[in-house]
Amino acid sequence: MSNIREIVTKAVVSKGTGNFKTVENIELGEKPFSILGCWIINNNFTANKIDSVVELDGNFEINIWYTLNNNTKTEIAKKVINYTNDVIVKDVVKDTLSSDMDVIVKMVQQPTCLNASINELTIEVEISYEVLAEVIGETKMKVSVFNPVEEDNIDVNEDFIEEF
């Protein structure tokens, strides 16, 4: 015989993913000759839930290593980029017990340079990143509780291990 119980627990009540691409331009004082490397570092962000959207506010730094004067001199250009993106979340659980929610956002792919190209005195950088957003809230779930079996009715074979 089983009984049904309701348990109050925290669970993922909404979730969603977002793929973002952007193009940023880095202005330089001189015309670059070639690009030796492009890195994106120091990605920081905060997240807040507004209706059915998780709003992501953050920034990262672009570092571009490039050459000048027919590859005779190298320089590094840096620029901090601020971003705001919306991740649409879909409800996984319809019934929540309160409006107090926690938001967890994970970077599935950190901001990465896809391409960097020279355009006169500017370096154009294509950037991509992907996030997973989960909203945690209180909800109820039903579980079955089984009564323990009487121990008097259990037959135990004490010789289940054979000796070698």
Tens-digit pLDDT profile for residues 133-149: 999 999 888 888 877 66
User: What distance, in Å, lies between the first and last C-alpha atoms of the chain?
Assistant: 42
Per-residue pLDDT tens digits for 151-162: 556 666 776 666
Three-class DSSP category at 160 = coil
- pLDDT, position 153: 62
Pairwise CA distance, residues 141 & 13, whole Å: 12
The whole-number pLDDT of residue 163 equals 56
Q: Which pLDDT score, from 0 to 100, does residue 78 have?
A: 95
E strand residue ranges, the chain: 2-27, 34-50, 53-68, 73-88, 90-91, 102-119, 122-146
pLDDT tens column, 46-98? 999 988 899 999 999 999 999 999 989 999 999 999 999 999 999 888 887 87
